[in-house]
């Protein structure tokens, strides 16, 4: 049981006293405020309860009620507590945690007692803490007779706390902390870690986890492990800060803008569930803060769906980034996985950077050590492509992992079905998988799984299971670090040799099972190909490229949509036109550097997918995707039903991506005739169906 320095001091004053002590006298003795003493009383009550004692509060006085022998036990326990000897690094964790959580100035002697060092040592440690806090634009204020406190915006303080936890808390330990009630910190490092979490009730962490699990099941979207842990820590810190009356401040303008985004609805739903479980009110500003974090999450299977409003500029930037690295290393990245992975990472990454949301990359040092040259080249390429945006090393580290994975995948040879369970996120999982395939040519298939969402049936499908974290209740797996060392390579090699020898007599049955799996997969593929092929035929049937009269944009869009109603492609025109104009107002639809504007939306009144090109008789300035006025000569219209399966949405999104695929495609859409554009579309659709068929 951990008892803080101030709790020890309060108990020492109260134990054995025949008369109740005024709270103001206790505060005066300890040189803190009465409010500080009041906040410590819950902890005191919990400690006394373990000794079958109670804290008696009468007015503004305190006393301990219970047997004298039991009070003696309390003093014996306190006297027998070991004063842990922290390393300088561990002291920094405890010191920063203490200062960031404090809601009023802390005396130097209190910090000295907490760390079991002299006041002079604390003063030296504070200088190091100041440097760490400078990265967050936070300041340490020190005044004689006043104490020490961290000064800065509440959201930055929370960001710093989250960073501190992420830097010192492994996901494996966090996983076990949430899964077991009997976990005990085994080393002095974990003692420091327990101090980091001391002010957070572990039960609250578990309650928050339970709510988040129910919430994400309801929205039917998987969150990658790193984002999942980040969200739990983020929400837990918010709950504790709200309870301490340290609340977020968002301007009405910021809040109203956030409320227009779909993430705010998800945040409201999460806040509602939290309110019921924790029996507390969550202010609007905090819901907005939740929404900002949800927006920056990484989702399992995150796709590049331009139809949802993804920035076409970002698509161009990601392709430029890939081309620069490919040129530097004389490579050709001919698969879409690298593009999709980078786009899925950069979209929330840029949002995090815009809102000054810090991200933690636990593998950054290892990445720089193993891929220093690639790291340097990616850094230069990122600075060139994303001019004016200060992208931190943590984000660049993740980008390097994507490129490193793609480069190593080009050289892999393969022979056994294996499952990689990696708790550090999809990037490190891919990198580990690539290295495994490079080292062991026997591996035929290698898949990834989440430690948090792992199901028993998942494991049983594979011959070999490799994990970077402990799997409770299982022994038949190989435990490795994200970066394999020589001993781990030998262990896997021994296992493979033994397994191949044992499995020779079972190859026939294995082939039979594989054949059944392939047959089921092919059936699903044919169904998806059929759906997409129907959409291809529909789009080509309705496609047109014609000139519009000199009307306003709203009048032109109305005229187009009314025509599609008559053709049976739309139920009604008015609401679709309203949705198109609302989309333009919210973000701009003109493509910078071109004379094109892509008007797109999904709506319940749209029956079938539509794509057409319209030339304005007289060009006009429209709001660009970069918020700058752009002179538009042609309008591209892309419409889709509100309800569409994912494979159909991906196809529709490919049309948007094809517009800015290269200079030739942009020129075609700007100046091409109907027959030329339609021929181009036919070729693009044919290629898409071929790739879809080959990828399965």
How far is 148 from 160, CA to CA, in rounded Å? Answer: 17
Q: Domain map of the chain by residue range?
A: 5-80, 88-295, 306-409, 528-695
457-516 pLDDT tens trace: 667 778 888 888 788 777 788 888 777 777 888 888 788 767 766 654 444 443 444 445
More confident residue, 452 or 34: 34
Question: CATH topology of 88-295 equal to that of 306-409?
Answer: yes
The packing angle between helices 171-179 and 225-243, to 10°, is 60
pLDDT of residue 514: 43
Q: List the beta bridge partners of residue 630.
A: 622
- 88-295: CATH topology: PTS-regulatory domain, PRD (1.10.1790)
For the segment(s) 528-695, the CATH number from 3.40.30.10, 3.40.930.10, 3.90.1480.20, 3.40.50.300 is 3.40.930.10
How is residue 549 annotated by DSSP? Answer: P
Kindly tell me if the per-residue pLDDT of 676 is higher than 50: yes
The pairs formed by 437-440 with CB atoms below 8 angstroms and a separation of 24 or more are 437/408, 437/409, 437/412, 437/413, 438/408, 438/411, 438/412, 439/484, 439/489, 439/492, 440/415, 440/492, 440/493, 440/496
Which residues in 60-101 belong to E strands, given as ranges?
61-65
Kindly tell me if the per-residue pLDDT of 611 is higher than 90: yes
pLDDT of residue 25: 87
First to last CA, the chain: 56
More confident residue, 556 or 174: 556
CATH classification code of 5-80: 1.10.10.10
The pairs formed by 320-324 with CB atoms below 8 angstroms and a separation of 24 or more are 320/385, 321/381, 321/382, 321/385, 321/399, 324/381, 324/384, 324/385
More confident residue, 166 or 580: 580
Kindly tell me if the per-residue pLDDT of 103 is higher than 80: no
The pairs formed by 538-541 with CB atoms below 8 angstroms and a separation of 24 or more are 538/608, 538/609, 538/610, 539/609, 539/610, 539/611, 539/655, 539/681, 539/685, 540/678, 540/681, 540/682, 540/685
Kindly tell me if the per-residue pLDDT of 430 is higher than 80: no
pLDDT of residue 191: 45
Work out the percent of the chain whose per-residue pLDDT is above 70. 78
Q: What is the arithmetic mean of pLDDT over 427-440?
A: 71
Q: List the beta bridge partners of residue 635.
A: 597, 614
pLDDT of residue 179: 55
Q: What is the arithmetic mean of pLDDT over 136-159?
A: 81
How far is 484 from 489, CA to CA, in rounded Å? Answer: 6
- 60 three-state secondary structure: coil
More confident residue, 694 or 554: 554
104-133 pLDDT tens trace: 888 888 888 778 788 888 888 898 888 888
- 306-409: CATH topology: PTS-regulatory domain, PRD (1.10.1790)
Q: What values do phi and psi take at 472, rounded to 5?
A: -55, 135
pLDDT of residue 515: 47
265 Rama class: left (phi>0) / alpha (psi -120 to 50) / beta: alpha
More confident residue, 389 or 519: 389
Summary mean pLDDT of the chain:
78
Kindly tell me if the per-residue pLDDT of 177 is higher than 80: no
For residue 627, name the pLDDT band (cuts at 50, 70, 90).
Answer: confident
Kindly tell me if the per-residue pLDDT of 438 is higher than 50: yes
526-552 pLDDT tens trace: 778 888 889 999 999 999 999 987 788
265-322 pLDDT tens trace: 888 888 898 888 888 888 888 888 888 778 767 565 544 444 444 467 788 888 889 8
644-658 pLDDT tens trace: 888 888 889 888 888
For residue 183, name the pLDDT band (cuts at 50, 70, 90).
Answer: very low
pLDDT of residue 583: 86
Q: What is the arithmetic mean of pLDDT over 665-682?
A: 89
Kindly tell me if the per-residue pLDDT of 46 is higher than 70: yes
Tokens of 624: 């660009």
pLDDT of residue 609: 95
**Dihedral sign computed on CA atoms, order 282, 288, 291, 292:** negative
Q: Which residue has tokens 């959409």?
A: 535
Alpha helices by DSSP H, 386-425:
393-409
pLDDT of residue 683: 87
The packing angle between helices 393-409 and 337-354, to 10°, is 180
């Amino acid at each position: 049981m951990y008892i803080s320095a101030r709790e020890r001091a309060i108990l020492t004053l109260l134990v054995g006293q025949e008369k109740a002590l005024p709270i103001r006298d206790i505060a005066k003795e300890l040189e803190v405020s009465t409010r500080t003493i009041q906040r410590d009383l819950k902890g005191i009550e919990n400690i006394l309860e373990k000794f079958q004692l109670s804290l008696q509060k009468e007015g503004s006085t305190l006393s301990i009620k219970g047997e004298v022998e039991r009070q003696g036990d309390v003093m014996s326990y306190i006297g027998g507590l070991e004063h842990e000897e922290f390393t300088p690094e561990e002291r920094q964790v405890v010191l920063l945690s203490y200062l960031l959580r404090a809601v009023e100035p802390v005396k130097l002697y209190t910090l000295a007692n907490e760390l079991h060092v002299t006041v002079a040592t604390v003063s030296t440690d504070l200088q190091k803490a100041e440097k760490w806090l400078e990265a967050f634009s936070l300041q340490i204020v020190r005044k004689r007779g006043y104490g020490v406190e961290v000064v800065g915006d509440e959201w930055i303080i929370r960001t710093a706390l989250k960073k501190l936890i992420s830097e010192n808390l492994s996901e494996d330990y966090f996983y076990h902390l949430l899964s077991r009630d009997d976990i005990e910190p085994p080393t002095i490092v974990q003692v420091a870690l327990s101090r980091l979490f001391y002010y957070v009730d572990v039960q609250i962490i578990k309650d928050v986890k339970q709510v988040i699990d129910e919430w994400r099941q309801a929205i039917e979207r998987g969150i990658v492990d790193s984002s999942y842990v980040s969200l739990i820590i983020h929400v837990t810190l918010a709950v504790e800060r709200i309870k301490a009356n340290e609340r977020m401040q968002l301007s009405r303008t910021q809040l109203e803008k956030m409320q227009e985004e779909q993430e705010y609805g998800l945040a409201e739903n999460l806040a509602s569930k939290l309110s019921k479980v924790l029996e507390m009110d969550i202010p609007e500003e905090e819901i907005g803060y939740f929404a900002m974090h949800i927006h920056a999450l990484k989702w399992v299977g995150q796709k590049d769906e331009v139809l949802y409003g993804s920035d076409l500029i970002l698509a161009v930037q990601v392709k430029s980034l890939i081309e620069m690295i490919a040129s530097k290393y004389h490579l050709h990245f001919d698969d879409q996985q690298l593009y999709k992975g980078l786009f899925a990472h950069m979209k929330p990454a840029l949002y995090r950077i815009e809102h000054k949301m810090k991200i933690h990359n636990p593998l950054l040092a290892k990445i720089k050590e193993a891929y220093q040259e690639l790291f340097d080249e990616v850094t230069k390429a990122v600075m060139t492509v994303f001019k004016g945006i200060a992208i931190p090393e943590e984000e660049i580290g993740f980008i390097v992992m994507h490129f490193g994975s793609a480069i190593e995948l080009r050289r892999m040879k393969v022979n056994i079905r294996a499952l990689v369970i990696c708790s550090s996120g999809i990037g490190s999982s891919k990198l580990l998988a690539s290295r495994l395939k490079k080292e062991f040519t026997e591996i035929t298939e290698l898949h990834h799984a989440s430690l948090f969402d792992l199901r028993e049936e998942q494991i049983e499908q594979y011959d070999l299971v490799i994990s970077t974290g402990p799997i409770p209740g299982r022994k038949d797996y190989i435990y490795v670090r994200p970066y394999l060392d020589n001993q781990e390579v030998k262990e896997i090699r021994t296992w493979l040799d033994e397994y191949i020898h044992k499995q020779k007599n079972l190859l026939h049955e294995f082939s039979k099972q594989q054949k059944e799996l392939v047959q089921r997969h092919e059936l699903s593929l044919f169904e998806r190909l059929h759906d997409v092929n129907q959409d291809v035929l529909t789009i080509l049937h309705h496609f047109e490229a014609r000139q519009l009269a000199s009307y306003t944009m709203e009048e032109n869009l109305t005229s187009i949509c009314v025509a599609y109603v008559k053709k049976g492609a739309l139920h009604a025109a008015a609401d679709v036109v309203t949705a198109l104009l609302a989309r333009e107002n919210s973000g701009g639809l003109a493509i910078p550097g071109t004379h094109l504007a892509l008007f797109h939306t999904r709506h319940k009144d749209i029956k079938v997918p539509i794509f057409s090109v319209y030339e304005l008789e007289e060009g006009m300035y429209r709001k660009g995707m970069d918020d700058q006025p752009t002179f538009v000569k042609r309008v591209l219209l892309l419409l889709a039903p509100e309800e569409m399966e994912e494979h159909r949405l991906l196809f529709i999104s490919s049309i948007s991506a094809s517009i800015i695929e290269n200079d030739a495609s942009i020129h075609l859409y700007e100046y091409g005739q109907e027959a030329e554009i339609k021929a181009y579309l036919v070729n693009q659709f044919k290629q898409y169906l071929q790739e879809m068929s080959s990828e399965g």
